[in-house]
Structure 1
Amino acid sequence: MDLDSGTLRAFVTVADEGHFGRAAERLVISQQAISKRINRLESQLGVSLFDRSLRNVRITETGRRLLPLARQAVDTADALAVEAARNAGPLRIDVLDDHLSSMLIARGVAQRGDVVVEARTRTDHHDALEALRTTDVDIALGRAGAVTGPWPADLRRRVVLLEPIRLLVGARHPLAGRDAVPMADLRDARLWFPMTGAPREWIDLVDELCADFGLTVDRTGSTLGLEYFLGRLADDPGLGTLFGGAMAAPGPGLAVVPIVDPVPVFAWWAMWRRRVPDSRVQAVQDAASRLYGVPLEAAGDTWMPAADRARL
């Protein structure tokens, strides 16, 4: 008997989700297609794997007995794909946005010289889950908290960088000479960060930060390019913005001031499917570790969106 790994994967996924529709979404196929795969597998085995008489499908006793073997077969197929892909072909990293510190992580991997890196941005995707399931991306960088609902069983995640969010102001700004500025002192500050074209994960973080601490951020307009954006900050002694602490220094005429009490952070996760070799995930971790970040053991003393903290 020749069993197809696709039908076995459909069996395992429906068993995990307890629902044909959710299983189809996870495998990025139609519900009709996944039903056909289950029917084909049941026909090949000569058994019934699911009781479909209820609103949510329920695995039968026979299906429960066969599930560990099917899961082992799927894991073996995935391990075969991982081994075949080891150090072969480019590493496709979704960096969320090419102006963020995630691009520095991708560059750090590329500088190793042992793997070709292709950087992608997920401007058309709401979160990493969609990027991983609907494109050829290997590893997505971003906020794990932006993935709603229970964490998908087919995806893995790891915090690679807790990047402190800092205040960026012109050299003539009243806060420019401070060693640090408490969060409470920003309530009356003029903050500007144009959100036109900004990633959803950053917009949601800023929304929650403002709500938690009573900050006001002017989101109107566009940066019109980094040079114009930084120039406007340098020219206006009353204007400030939020800036990633792991990013390169912005240049003369500007000052980066740490924010404290608490330190706000953008938690960068690497998220990937099981087929990605561990060595490539470790390369991303190593590159992120060379950037400035808050130690993971100090995460309890920082601020981050509640959904991100729940993923730690």
Structure 2
Amino acid sequence: MDLDTVRTFVAAADAGRFQEAAAELAISQQAVSKRIAALERGLGVRLFTRTARGAELTIDGQAFLPHAHELLRVAERAAASVRTGHRPLRVDILASRGAASGLMRGFHRAHPEIDLDVVMLLDMDTAVAALRSGTLDASFRAVGAPGRPLPEDIAYVRVLDEPLELLTGPAHTLAGARSVPLARLAGHRIWMPGLTPGTEWTAYYDDLVAEFGLTIEATGPNFGSDALLDTVADTPALATFMGGHTRLVWPAGHGLRRIPVTDPTPVYPHALLWHRDNPHPALATLRAHLAATTAGHDAAGTWTPAWAAPR
């Protein structure tokens, strides 16, 4: 059904005269008559009766009027849902308990007036395709991994260097350490079943292993963080890496330890990605918020892969 004809019908019904409806819509009276006639043909009924006083609704016209108003309201809501500045800002955070989730919670607290739609996309190629198509406004990723160049129309800024911590069970030989030098981890079994070949985080840990002679095992299925914590708590020979800004909760009986890693501290370089032509006004607000609230990058005593994008 043509919304212009519906809009014309509503204007004529409200005004009671085709001439006044024409003035309101800034079209000719003849155009009003043609639109009403087209609508009547499509519905197969008469909507108006011409009288000396103007145009009166028929019984069918009276029945159709409330539905016509609702059609126009639905059309306006549909347009508003995608109109720049009115639809939610859609952001990919990768994981609900990760550092990016904390950054977005902080943004929401600072700007509760901005509607957010938070999604979690595993694959970077999927996220970049969504940024380019406009179905996603921003994504948190590590930028610069070998073999993963960004298209020219995707912009980015490094927003957070997240220090890694060693997570152990209470019986691990390092469980009592207040901190542990990175070199001391050589020879210890570090279990990370979530490493997926071809991802930016796997490229990060591959470089960490190569540079410091670590042993990282990615064997076995990835049953999620709860299963990982259970295994590390019960297995004295295993430890895992955990981001310092990653929020985890475990049973008190697990006795897990989060131990800072030093000399150097490996940090994960989180960046915000967006399409250069994205017009959503809240995107600029998000970038300004992150610039004002996140710490510096490449601090002394830290390590990132050589490919990590600069600030």
Same fold (TM over 0.5): yes
Query: What is aligned with 1:299?
Result: 299
Q: Aligned equivalents of 1:288 and 1:166: distance in 2?
A: 24
Distance 1:188 1:120, change over 3 A: same
Q: Deviations over 1:109-162 (max 9, x none)?
A: 334421222222333443753342246110111112138587654332222111
1: CA distance, partners of 2:180 / 2:160:
22
1:205-284 superposed matches below 5 A: 205-251=204-250, 252=252, 253-274=255-276, 275-277=278-280, 279-283=282-286
Aligned residue for 2:186? 187
Secondary structure (helix, strand or coil) at the match of 1:220 reads coil
Which SS does the other structure have where 2:177 is aligned?
coil
CA distance in 2, matches of 1:245, 1:206: 16
Contact 1:163/1:246 (8 A) holds in 2: yes
Q: Quick one: structure 1 residues 108 and 90, their matched pair in 2 at CA, closer, same or farther if it must change by over 3 Å?
A: same
Distance 2:146 2:209 in 1: 21
Q: Distance in 1 between matches of 2:238 and 2:259?
A: 13
Q: How far 1:278 moved relative to its partner?
A: 6.0
State whether residues 170 and 237 of structure 1, in contact with CA within 8 Å, keep that contact through their aligned partners in structure 2.
yes
Mapped contact 1:108–1:287 kept (Cα < 8 A):
no
Q: Give aligned-pair identity as a percent.
A: 32
Does structure 1 residue 107 correspond to structure 2 residue 110?
A: no
Moved more, 207-216 or 143-152: 143-152
RMSD: 2.9
Give the whole-Å Cα distance in 1 for the aligned partners of 2:198 and 2:164.
16
- State the TM-score, normalized to the length of structure 1: 0.63
Q: Could you say which structure has the larger radius of gyration?
A: 2
Q: Flag structure 2 segments of 5+ consecutive residues without an equivalent.
A: 1-82
Indicate conservation of the 8 Å contact 2:97/2:246, yes or no.
no
Q: For this pair of structures, how many residues does the alignment match?
A: 224
Aligned residue among 74, 89, 107 for 2:87: 89
Task: Give the one of 279, 289, 294 matched to 1:286.
Answer: 289
Write the mapping of 1:1-312 to structure 2, written as runs, cut at 5 A: 85-86=84-85, 88-111=86-109, 112-126=111-125, 128-134=127-133, 136-146=135-145, 152-195=151-194, 200-251=199-250, 252=252, 253-274=255-276, 275-277=278-280, 279-283=282-286, 286=289, 295-309=295-309, 311-312=310-311
Report the alpha carbon displacement of residue 198 of structure 1 after superposing the two structures with TM: 7.8
Q: CA deviation at 1:298?
A: 4.4
Contact 1:233 1:239 in 2 (8 A): yes
Once residues 259 and 281 of structure 2 are traced to their aligned partners in structure 1, the CA distance between those partners, rounded to angstroms, is 37
Q: Which amino acid aligns with 2:137?
A: D
Residue 305 of structure 1 aligns with an amino acid whose one-letter code is P
TM-score w.r.t. the length of structure 2 is 0.63
Letter in 1 for 2:169: G
* Aligned-partner SS, 1:109: helix
> Do the aligned partners of residues 222 and 281 (structure 1) sit closer, same or farther apart at CA in structure 2, a change above 3 Å counting?
farther
Cα shift readout 1:13-43 (whole Å, capped 9, x = no counterpart): xxxxxxxxxxxxxxxxxxxxxxxxxxxxxxx
Q: Between 272-281 and 217-226, report the one with greater CA deviation.
A: 272-281
1:267 offset after TM fit, Å? 0.7
